[in-house]
Structures are given as structure tokens and as C-alpha cells.
Structure 1
Amino acid sequence: MDIKLIALDLDNTLLNADCLLSIRNRETLKKLHQRGLKVVLTTGRPIKGILPFIDQLNLKEVEDYSINFNGGVIQNNLSKKIISSKFLTKDMMKPINNLANQMRFPLDGITIDRAYSVIDVKKSGYQSFIGKLMAFTDVEFADLPDDQHYFKFVSQTEPAQVAEIQAETKNLPNFTIVKSRPNLLEFLPRGVNKSFGLSKLLAHFGWSFDNVMAFGDEENDLPMIKSAGIGVAMGNASAEVKAVSNAVTKRNTEDGVAVYLEKYFDL
């Protein structure tokens, strides 16, 4: 199989338990990038939330891209030009906000360059997770800007409540609702997932999914693992991800990405 693009989830896949990029993973990916393979960070985070990893991997050539917001945005790492996007509006989110008030769960809305913590119920820990890479504004839902494009809303809460929210929202027609970590539920525009984002980037390059190797661990990685020519589940991946993958590698804490790539590409 002619692999031209390596798509990588970040949290609990490429990154270790401290949310850092290990030396082994970094050096292995840099070697493959220097060989001409596209290394594409494919994540729920906005590009501002992954700039340190783009820098560490030196993914800053003219045709280097990232897939952000779980496929909602494809953005050039160097110029920051967006070649594909799909977004939510405040009006679309009203049913979710109503449910958040009823079930008492927090919400954060993320635009291309900033985030809004909706504090009607309580402020979540999402800002602490993202760190200082994005500006956050605390706001009540009524005061959330009407003219912004929101590429996703998230609820960071207890895993048990995440399951309850998923059960209550599974039939809402305007959204893709998916878990990206046990304690993080994401509300995306309908039809948006990592496979959708990859399809847009592949069209840009004139390639197919047969040219893709994808690594992931969680529910939001399922579509790209299924679609990729080679889908690789981490050793710590969910049973669902392992069931649809072509291979299972070591855990993220054991440099599982590098372990598989070194063997496959004979590094």
C-alpha cells in the first residue's frame, strides 16, 4: 500500500500521559516528514492549541496542513489559510444550552481563534486543559456573540455525566455528538468527523484513503480508523477502535506511534 499521509490523533495517541510529545515519537515523525510523507495532526483542538507540536515536528512547509475541530477545519500550518470549514451558530446551539441548564452540565464554545466559557451552570475545566494557547472569555449564553462561527462546543464533565448527555442527545438532527476523552463530549456540525476532514484534505492532494495511515484511541477517531487504508489502534484504545482497526500498537505511554512506524517503514 502506498502510504503518503500519516493522520495522528493527539491526546492519548501521539502524546504521552503528560500531554507531551516524546523524543522517540518526534524524531520518528520528523524522519518520515523529511522523506516526503505528509504528517497531519488530526485533532479536536483548534490550530492555536497545537502550535507547540507543529513547531516540535517542524510541520511548516508550504503544503503542511492540520485537521482541527475533529474535521471541521482544515488549515495550512504555515499561512493559516483555511481550505475547508463547517461551523455551528449560537442559534443552532439553543437546544443544547437548554439541556445544559436542565442537566446542569458546563459548555465551552470555540471559534477559530478564541473560546467562550458559558457560565450559566458553571465554568468547566476546559480552559485549564487547553492552557494559555487560546484566549478564553467567561460569558452567559444570552451574551454569547451571535455573529461568531463556532466550530465546536464541548462539555468537560464527569464520565458518568458524559454518558448521560450522550443518551439524551443522540437523536438531535443538527449535530455530530462524540466523545473525545472519557470526560469530554464534543458537539460538532452534522456530518463532521475526522474522516470527513481527511476526505477534504485528500481531495486537495488528489489522493485517496488508500494512501492514509491513521492512529487513534477514542470514539472520535472511529471514522478515520475505519476509512484509512491502514487504521492503527493504540494499545490503550477503546475496544470499539481496536475492533475496526487493521493493527494494534503499543500504548501512548510506550511510544506506540513510533513503534509501529519504525517497523512499517523500516526505520
Structure 2
Amino acid sequence: MQYYLISDLDHTLLNEQGRLSQRTIHAVVSGGLSLMLASARMPAQMLDVINQLQLKGPQTALNGAAVFQPNQDKFEILNQHAIPDPAAQKVQELIESVFPQLNLTWMDAFAWHVSTYDQGVANEIFYTGIKPIYDVHNRPIQNALQMLLIIEDPILLKKVKSAILSLQSAEIAVHEAGDGYLTINAASADKSQAAHYLINQGLASYDQLMAFGDDENDLPLLKSVAHPVAMANASQNVKESAEIIALSNEKDGIAQIIERIAPNKDQVRYT
């Protein structure tokens, strides 16, 4: 069978420094398998990885809120699911009134909007190279594909998540994405959109799809494919949803699986 791969980025395809290993690059480029990335990152934050892996097909960003076609340093949005403006504005009002110490950020397809520079923003800039626009207090939220809060304190993160869920909005979905990242998307947007897009466009069949993930926001993706794979560093509930447990991202788990299943096995061997 010719598999079509779908993979999360952070803590899955990338190592803990947020980088691709040379073994992973070699396996993907040489293996002859198609790969779609399905990340919580924005499209622009994914382009460097896409170019290193020489990917040509559609990719999925912002937890499934956007499917896009990359082309070197540019991209075209193919499909998107925005948070309805009133729902996004209710979340904004909640955060600003109850948790004013937090740095509310949000993304459309092309820009990352933040309220102030802090360590969380600094870390994101370092890992992804994206530069934010400091305009959250100066403009209304419109056509937001994702809202992001970076909260290091796990107790505070749980309180914020609970408060957002207490809005009882059927128009949004809230996910923990690891490392203190709390993301809010349209209820119609999750990473299963990656699999649905490939199947609906006739690019792959359900039986061909193999997906890789490590955290809660990857569960909809893993449940939408025939062959779900959890990394060894994945959370327990992700592992329980998987058919296969790969080695960790630090041990090139995805590369090792590609080396076994790629049609071009002889070219994939890495020394």
C-alpha cells in the first residue's frame, strides 16, 4: 500500500529544539511518500519546514482552520474555518475582564496579532520566526482563525480554559496544545480537516492515511485516519487512540517508520 502521511509538527516531526533532524529530512525527501503537515502554527510559520522537506501538496494550519497550498515563500488559502466574530469577541471580553494579566493573541491567515511583548511571544518568535503585530487593543477581532493564550502556570491554564468553556458557546472549540498553549478555534475546525480535505479532493483514500501526533489537539486527526500513530513522548490519551507507538521525536520516530514503509526504501537508508 502507498501511504499518505499527515503529521503534527511540534514535539512530533520536530525535535525539542523545534527543528528537523537531518535523518527526518532525508527520509521525507527520499522516501517517495506524500506528506501533509497538520499544525497549530500559522501557514507562514510552517513555510521553512515545508521548504526543507520539499513538500508540494496542500498543508493544514491553525488546528485545521486553514488548508493552504505553499509555493516557496508564499501560499494560497484553499479552505478556512473562521471563528464567528461575536464568539471571538466574547472570548476577548472574558479574558480582558477576568484575566487582564494574560497576553491575548489571535491569528488570521496572514498575521499574528498580540497585545504586548512577553516571554511567551519571545519564545514563539524564536521557534517559528514569525513577527507579530502589536494591535490587539487597537482593532476588533475579525475573521480570526485561531486565538492563542500562552500560560505557563498549569493551574491558571485550567482556570482560563474552564472560564472559556463556561461561555457555553457552540461556535468555538478549546484545546490544550502542550507547553502551556491554549488554543480557541471555530467548532468546525480541528485537525481532522486535514484527512477530510485529502479524501474529499481525491488525493488519498481513508485506508492510505497514516497520521502522527503527540497531544490533545491531535486526537481528532488520529481518529479520522486508518492508521493513527502516537509518538513515545505523547500524552497517555493520545497513545490509547493509536494503532502504533513510534519512537519519540528526539529519536526520529517518524523517520524510522518512513524507512520501513517507504516505496523507495533503498534510497531512504540513513547513516
Deviation at 1:196, TM superposition (A): 2.2
Distance 1:218 1:3 in 2: 26
Distance 1:56 1:260 in 2: 19
Distance 2:9 2:27 in 1: 15
Match status 1:220 vs 2:217: yes
1:211 aligned partner: 208
Whichever residue aligns with residue 247 of structure 2, its letter is: K
Distance 1:50 1:72 in 2: 14
* Mapped contact 1:117–1:138 kept (Cα < 8 A): yes
Distance 2:19 2:192 in 1: 25
Match status 1:100 vs 2:95: yes
- SS of the residue 2:60 aligns to: strand
- SS of the residue 1:83 aligns to: strand
* Mapped contact 1:124–1:155 kept (Cα < 8 A): no
Distance 1:166 1:229 in 2: 31
Structure 1 window deviating more from structure 2 (107-116 vs 82-91): it is: 82-91
* Mapped contact 2:39–2:62 kept (Cα < 8 A): yes
Deviation at 1:123, TM superposition (A): 4.8
* Mapped contact 2:146–2:184 kept (Cα < 8 A): yes
Deviation at 1:166, TM superposition (A): 1.9
Deviations 1:8-39 (A, max 9, x none): 1000000011100001111111122xx2x321
2:147 to 153, 156, 161: 153
Deviation at 1:253, TM superposition (A): 0.7
2:45 aligned partner: 49
* Mapped contact 2:87–2:169 kept (Cα < 8 A): no
* Mapped contact 2:81–2:188 kept (Cα < 8 A): no
* Mapped contact 2:6–2:37 kept (Cα < 8 A): yes
Distance 1:7 1:130 in 2: 25
Whichever residue aligns with residue 219 of structure 1, its letter is: E
Whichever residue aligns with residue 156 of structure 1, its letter is: I
* Mapped contact 2:230–2:246 kept (Cα < 8 A): yes
TM-score normalised by the chain length of structure 1: 0.88
Runs of 4+, deviation exceeding 6 Å: none
TM-score normalised by the chain length of structure 2: 0.87
- Mapping of 1:168-207 within 5 angstroms? 168-170=163-165, 171-207=168-204
Segments of structure 2 that go 5 or more residues without pairing to the other structure are: 266-271
Match status 1:248 vs 2:242: no
Deviation at 1:117, TM superposition (A): 0.5
Distance 1:265 1:38 in 2: 10
Query: Aligned residue pairs: how many?
Result: 256
Structure 1 window deviating more from structure 2 (194-203 vs 21-30): it is: 194-203
1:6 aligned partner: 5
- SS of the residue 1:40 aligns to: strand
Whichever residue aligns with residue 64 of structure 2, its letter is: G
1:205 to 1:152, Cα distance in 2 relative to 1, 3 A: same
1:91 to 1:134, Cα distance in 2 relative to 1, 3 A: farther
Segments of structure 1 that go 5 or more residues without pairing to the other structure are: none
Distance 1:50 1:221 in 2: 17
Identity of aligned residues (%): 23
Match status 1:261 vs 2:258: yes
More relative contact order, 1 or 2 (CA 8 Å, 6+ apart): 2
2:86 aligned partner: 91
RMSD: 2.1
- SS of the residue 2:223 aligns to: helix
Deviation at 1:145, TM superposition (A): 4.4
1:70 to 1:192, Cα distance in 2 relative to 1, 3 A: same
Distance 1:200 1:174 in 2: 21
Distance 2:113 2:200 in 1: 32
2:124 to 129, 149, 164: 129
Distance 2:224 2:157 in 1: 26
